[in-house]
Structure 1
Amino acid sequence: MTSVHRDLDLRPREAAIDEAGHPLHLLSEEELRAHVAEVLERARRRSAGLTDAVDDADLVKQHSTLMSPLVWDLAHVGSQEEIWLVRDVGGRDPLRPDIDDLYDAFQHPRSTRPELPLLGPEEARRYVTEVRDKAMDVLERAALRGRDLTCHAFAFGMVAQHEQQHDETMLATHQLRRGDPVLHAPAPPPAVVHDLPEEVVVPAGPFAMGTSIEPWALDNEQPVHEVFVDTFALDTTPVTNGRYAEFVDDGGYTDPRWWSTAGWAYRSAHGITAPRFWRREDAQWWRIRFGVYEPAPPDEPVVHVSYYEAEAFAAWAGKRLPTEAEWEKAARYDPATGRSRRYPWGDDDPTPEHANLGQRHLRPAPVGAYPRGASPLGVHQLIGDVWEWTSSDFHPYPGFVAFPYREYSEVFFGSEYKVLRGGSFGSDAVAVRGTFRNWDFPLRRQIFAGFRCARDVRGGDAGV
């Protein structure tokens, strides 16, 4: 993978459309270095925890052809850190140029990675440790202003986000592994607000979508642009296990009326009858969660459903999935000021009181658990808990420029992928914000994805 340099001006500037700034703009270089070091260390602690939780045989095993062996992910994050921080930003000699191709995700599909001559567990651990030591030395010496890759420490933020994204992928691999539980975390907080309205009406009008000033925003989040959205109603919370079970028990998986042609064909070909990891026992729905077999909590957001399943539920409920623009407006638009916030609650970074992020809990939280994270319009839990499917295909924004390499976003643009928003309980705050865009094939069920529904509101129809 080769980096590309451009004379891009990524300095803070006044955007043509009103959007929130970022606290990184206010930090001194010394403060910024300390912040970057903490973010990188947080990602590495998580990587170590996910790989140290299992023995070497588990690390090299492929638990599903959908996923890489855990040891591949570990060495891959080290390889990318070496390429971008040690070689590119630091200008240092390569440590292991011989493994570049092995850990290039575009050269080897996940299903074939176990056949490669990968680094073993101990060698992989030594490699990522050596890379990190050199990267921290680069951080101490690099100028964090001016050059596109280092302006506001962008390259370091990109590497931290990349590692956290692979940590979430490794967490999904843990969900697919068989055997006794090896991951443990406290339960999420209980619901503290009850009897929420089913829907919130989002008024028609323009808003600033995307960003041009978020310093660690990735290329597909940019640039900021004005989008007009008609009035619509959006579910106040994600669809819960209890509500989704009503769809299943009503024959939702056996009635083609609710399914798209592609969705019904996939459901039929694979014999899908419920969300992944669900089982019916004693007139109750149970689930497997990281090796624990337990009743599916009715008040938690449903997870491990594909786009096709979400789309079918919405049709059964007389609704639809929101577009990506609708989701972002509900999450960011502040009707009092007319500006787009960084997050539903404001411009400050997430805290444990705002959202269920960072693998603090190994499950979604009950709906109503994070009132401090609600948007100005009263929409809850838009950030964290579960990735939310939207009806939008993954396309570039007007004025998109690939940076720093085409393979991050550009090669995925098209109708094959659907956009997901908001992050999950397995996402870290560094890789989730109101503008962050995720994408995947509509058939994917192993990811921590759920959804909420929307509907059109016409004329005076604004009832909930």
Structure 2
Amino acid sequence: MILSEKYLKIRKHSEQICEPLETEDYVVQPIVDVSPPKWHLGHTTWFFETFILQPFSLGYEVYNDAYNYVFNSYYETIGNRVIRTDRGNLSRPGVKEIYQYRAYVDEAMLRLLENPVTEEVEELLLLGFNHEQQHQELLLTDIKYILGNNPLFPVYHSEVRESSPLQTKTREMIGIAEGVYEIGYTGTSFCFDNELGLHKVYLQPFSISSNLVSNAEFLEFINSGGYQNFEYWHSEGWDWLNNNQVTAPMYWHFIDEQWHRYTLSGLKPMNLQEPVTHISYYEAYAYASWAGLRLPTEFEWEVAAQTFNWGQRWEWTESAYLPYPGFNKAPGAIGEYNGKFMVQQKVLRGASIATPEGHSRISYRNFFHPHLRWQFTGLRLAK
């Protein structure tokens, strides 16, 4: 696929995600971690304008000088920005204006791509594509949080399926031999800088589950008093649980003596055979402790990933998000993309049903703070 076609396909997908929304849905920011959908649409457009059009498109005129302040996310190199918590306070630019902004930038990008581009521009384009795909996943999960915290439980789209039932109801533990293994990206296509630095790790013999933990299994943990027994929890996780009065995964609702779960297709009776989702690292750790097992490290997960099916849930690991040996941040704003976040976060591996097609690979390192659970997060057990 040529660059202009790939550009249009990715840009169109962001707008397709937003098609079921009402105008009012575009502007809501219920918590700091959830950005308004219209901000995502503007920010991904600003990325192409700022990092490609301004430096490499001769004579390009910025759509609106103020947008650098509005749509810059965290790039200190680029300048001041709206505080993240205040994104939902921006009634302007309106939704219509943001779609006009997208069309303006798309037209300029397609003019640029009419001719061959330099290797530097192509690398930035690939980063821009993958950046927008990351925001497509955030868009969908943010939309779910916005609608799922509305007391009307509105349907995003009636035909969206958030998962398939697990292939088998019994858990098989897959044995992995002791040895020295190579970790990191080995391909020739795009990857993020945090995947680079192919290196060797020594692993003790271990086994890992062929299945993700299901809703039925997690319900056993709940019914046995798992959320009330401090012995299964880290001290920090126990504080988080009590301070936030957490008693079940996000979007679980006990109605008329039956568990229901809010999904993108509405509030539905719990499907017990689906993999559990929207849990924090604290909850994943506590469940594993209750089960007498543990979470895999990210290195164990990567080595074992070809032996099981993955991709329905981002899977919490026991690994802190740290740089690989030899990691170097790129100069300038692009160097702020991953390296500055390598502190107090846990690595998740795999992908989710919200991950765009072609955006997942075994070496992909996602990362979140331990208390977060608005993404499609789940767990796989190891011992």
Distance (whole Å) between structure 1 residues aligned to residue 165 and residue 31 of structure 2:
34
Distance (whole Å) between structure 1 residues aligned to residue 377 and residue 59 of structure 2:
40
Distance (whole Å) between structure 1 residues aligned to residue 174 and residue 108 of structure 2:
50
RMSD: 2.1
How far has the Cα of 1:202 moved from its partner? 1.2
List per-residue Cα deviations over 1:23-79 (Å, max 9, x = no partner). xxxxxxxxxxx3433433332222112333222222123243431211111111100
Alignment of 1:83 onto 2:36:
no
Within 5 Å, which residues of 2 pair with 1:402-441? Answer: 402-403=329-330, 405-414=334-343, 416-441=344-369
CA distance 1:258–1:133, shift in 2 (3 Å):
same
Alignment of 1:183 onto 2:152:
no
Distance (whole Å) between structure 2 residues aligned to residue 442 and residue 273 of structure 1:
17
Q: Which residue of 1 aligns with 2:197?
A: 223
One of 106, 111, 115 as aligned partner of 1:132: 106
Q: Are 1:40 and 1:160, in contact at CA under 8 Å, matched by a contact in 2?
A: yes
CA distance 1:296–1:79, shift in 2 (3 Å):
same
How far has the Cα of 1:430 moved from its partner? 3.4
Q: Are 1:90 and 1:142, in contact at CA under 8 Å, matched by a contact in 2?
A: no
- Percent identity of the aligned residues? 30
Alignment of 1:101 onto 2:30:
no
Q: For residue 454 of structure 1, give the secondary structure of its aligned residue in structure 2.
A: coil
Q: Are 2:169 and 2:273, in contact at CA under 8 Å, matched by a contact in 1?
A: no
How far has the Cα of 1:128 moved from its partner? 0.8
Moved more, 111-120 or 306-315: 111-120
Distance (whole Å) between structure 2 residues aligned to residue 423 and residue 315 of structure 1:
24
Q: For residue 288 of structure 1, give the secondary structure of its aligned residue in structure 2.
A: strand
Within 5 Å, which residues of 2 pair with 1:138-177? Answer: 138-143=112-117, 147=119, 149-150=120-121, 153-176=122-145, 177=147
Q: Which residue of 2 aligns with 1:341?
A: none
CA distance 1:210–1:312, shift in 2 (3 Å):
same
Alignment of 1:390 onto 2:317:
yes
Within 5 Å, which residues of 2 pair with 1:102-117? Answer: 102-106=70-74, 107-116=81-90
How far has the Cα of 1:116 moved from its partner? 4.2
Aligned residue identity for 2:73: A
Distance (whole Å) between structure 1 residues aligned to residue 100 and residue 298 of structure 2:
42
Moved more, 120-129 or 80-89: 80-89
List per-residue Cα deviations over 1:175-216 (Å, max 9, x = no partner). 122242132435478669536652111111122211254331
Within 5 Å, which residues of 2 pair with 1:236-315? Answer: 236-290=210-264, 292-315=266-289
CA distance 1:86–1:430, shift in 2 (3 Å):
farther
Distance (whole Å) between structure 1 residues aligned to residue 168 and residue 156 of structure 2:
33
Q: Are 1:61 and 1:114, in contact at CA under 8 Å, matched by a contact in 2?
A: yes
Moved more, 188-197 or 226-235: 188-197
Distance (whole Å) between structure 1 residues aligned to residue 360 and residue 324 of structure 2:
18
How far has the Cα of 1:427 moved from its partner? 0.5
**Structure 2: which 5+ runs fail to align?**
75-80
How far has the Cα of 1:231 moved from its partner? 1.1
Q: How many residues align?
A: 369
One of 294, 299, 305 as aligned partner of 1:325: 299
Distance (whole Å) between structure 2 residues aligned to residue 212 and residue 139 of structure 1:
29
Q: Are 2:184 and 2:196, in contact at CA under 8 Å, matched by a contact in 1?
A: yes
Q: For residue 189 of structure 2, give the secondary structure of its aligned residue in structure 1.
A: coil
Aligned residue identity for 1:100: N
Calculate the TM-score normalised by the size of structure 2.
0.90
Aligned residue identity for 2:287: F
CA distance 1:108–1:394, shift in 2 (3 Å):
farther
CA distance 1:232–1:90, shift in 2 (3 Å):
farther
Q: Are 2:213 and 2:380, in contact at CA under 8 Å, matched by a contact in 1?
A: yes
CA distance 1:264–1:127, shift in 2 (3 Å):
same
Aligned residue identity for 1:311: Y
Q: For residue 358 of structure 2, give the secondary structure of its aligned residue in structure 1.
A: helix
Q: Per residue, is there more helix in 1 or in 2? A: 2
How far has the Cα of 1:253 moved from its partner? 0.3
Q: For residue 136 of structure 1, give the secondary structure of its aligned residue in structure 2.
A: helix
Q: Are 1:56 and 1:121, in contact at CA under 8 Å, matched by a contact in 2?
A: yes
